[in-house]
Structure 1
Amino acid sequence: MRLIAAAVLATALLIPSTAHATSSPAQATSSTAQAALTTAPPRKQAPSVNCAVVKCLALTFDDGPAKTTGPLLDILAKHRAKASFYLIGRSVARSPGLARRIAREGHEIGNHTYSHPRLTELPGEDIAHQLDRTQRLIAKATGRAPATMRPPYGATDDRVLSVAESLGLAQVMWTGTTEDWRLREERAIRRAVLSMARRNGVILMHDPVPATVEAMPSILAALKKRGYHLVTVSALLRGRPLSPGETYPPRK
């Protein structure tokens, strides 16, 4: 019997919610200022991992927490690997215990909006609402507001970055994406990860995709055999915090 039930659907998390509270620009500004005060730098990676010396790779997971997140955390712990999780606010509201566990086990948490909309299609006050609401939910669950965000679908522009900066958030993108939501097959996902793995790379996956979690033991074993240390995005930066409004990896 497979570890993860195929009935768990990642796509359920990708349907944007239209029923969120609206706010005036003045209210959004006030909310933004409060959230920026709560933003804290990510917890540092264990000092034994020095990415200036060893070969590091950051595995990142979007769209959780989900039913599959717990088994993924078990696998990461077994392989002594760290990762970065970009969480959806409404999912944190449903599963705050999973968000707490992610933080407690030394992984990094970022903001992935409240309901997964394309931020570039929203007015500024709604972008602020999506990010601010999620900041508060994650802070309530874990005791710390994220210092980074990742825009759903990678949809970003200068306006999105400006709002993120006003909230004290940097933007984390990726060097390679598995498109696991489309592949949905263990071997294909494994091949995708291994083909794009490179030193200081940032690989995008989705923890609500069951096949991704099923593939992780073999992915982690193969990456470690190649000499990779699997770390958080912050560890790749070797202790340098990202500035609000900064994008990493840098946009070309």
Structure 2
Amino acid sequence: MNRPKPGGVPYGQLIKTCKDPGMGAPTFDDGPFQCTRRFLGTLKGNGNQGLKNALKRIMADGHQIGSHSFSHKPLSSLSQKDKVSEMVKLENALHGTTGKKPTYMRPPNFDCNDKCMKLMGKMGYHVIDEDLDTHDWKNMSNMQVSKGIVKKGVGGADSMKTTSFHHRWRVPW
């Protein structure tokens, strides 16, 4: 399953930071949820309701939708066929809603061994990791999450990170 690979960003290898200074890539697991509208509203205007509207708005506002697999299974433990199935199912669902297929992916639980990376490269995926995990999944308060982000260096335009947010109630805006 070799696919076209345009652009200068590497395929099938781990990307931990944005190549452009001052740019960042927050990632959100397990959503969209109630925080998604609020977050998008912070980025631009007011929110929409429903998954399809949220996905369309994300794209319309110039943001990118990446893959996190279809059912959040640890990819390294799956057969090649099942890995492909996990990725293609989500591609098809997103394409049906947005008209586009994702080119970036972040493995569930950051689990993607060398075989998985090679396959993601063949499938035309840029594989991203985080360089700042908010640890919001530990059920910390919004204030604790915010303080942790600031303490770890997200704050200056030249220090934006690839940040991982996990749960619906943990995006402090």
- What is the distance in 2 between the residues matched to 1:66 and 1:106? 20
- What is the distance in 2 between the residues matched to 1:101 and 1:40? 25
Q: 1:114 and 2:73 equivalent?
A: no
- What is the distance in 2 between the residues matched to 1:63 and 1:200? 23
Bigger shift: residues 142-151 or 94-103: 94-103
Do 1:40 and 1:146's aligned partners in 2 also have CA atoms closer than 8 Å?
A: no
Higher relative contact order (CA 8 A, sep 6+): 2
- What is the distance in 1 between the residues matched to 2:35 and 2:138? 17
Structure with higher Rg: it is 1
Compute the TM-score of the two structures, normalised by the length of structure 2.
0.78
1:68-92 alpha-carbon deviations (Å, 9 max, x no partner) = 32222112226xxxxxxxxxxxxxx
- What is the distance in 2 between the residues matched to 1:145 and 1:155? 22
| Partner SS for 2:162 | strand
- What is the distance in 1 between the residues matched to 2:6 and 2:44? 25
Alignment correspondent of 2:80: 124
Alignment correspondent of 1:201: 161
Task: Structure 2: give runs of 5+ residues left out of the alignment.
Answer: 8-18
Alignment correspondent of 2:12: none
Bigger shift: residues 140-149 or 195-204: 195-204
The alpha carbon displacement at 1:123 in A equals: 1.0
More strand per residue: 1 or 2? 1
Q: 1:173 and 2:140 equivalent?
A: no
1:31-180 → structure 2 map (5 Å cutoff): 32=1, 36=3, 51-52=20-21, 55-77=22-44, 95-180=51-136
From the superposition, tell whether residues 74 and 40 of structure 1 become closer, same or farther in structure 2 (CA, over 3 Å).
farther
Do 1:110 and 1:147's aligned partners in 2 also have CA atoms closer than 8 Å?
A: yes
Do 2:68 and 2:105's aligned partners in 1 also have CA atoms closer than 8 Å?
A: yes
Alignment correspondent of 1:233: none
- What is the distance in 2 between the residues matched to 1:196 and 1:143? 37
1:129-168 alpha-carbon deviations (Å, 9 max, x no partner) = 0011111111221111111110000011111112211211
Alignment correspondent of 2:169: 210
The alpha carbon displacement at 1:40 in A equals: 7.9
- What is the distance in 2 between the residues matched to 1:187 and 1:113? 30
1:70-121 alpha-carbon deviations (Å, 9 max, x no partner) = 222112226xxxxxxxxxxxxxxx8222211111111111000001111111
| Partner SS for 1:171 | strand
| Partner SS for 1:110 | coil
More helix per residue: 1 or 2? 1
Alignment correspondent of 1:236: none
Do 2:32 and 2:168's aligned partners in 1 also have CA atoms closer than 8 Å?
A: no
- What is the distance in 1 between the residues matched to 2:113 and 2:140? 29
- What is the distance in 1 between the residues matched to 2:160 and 2:145? 20
Alignment correspondent of 1:9: none
Do 1:40 and 1:147's aligned partners in 2 also have CA atoms closer than 8 Å?
A: no
Compute the TM-score of the two structures, normalised by the length of structure 1.
0.55
Same amino acid, percent of matched pairs: 23
- What is the distance in 2 between the residues matched to 1:152 and 1:122? 12
What number of residue pairs does the alignment pair up? 154
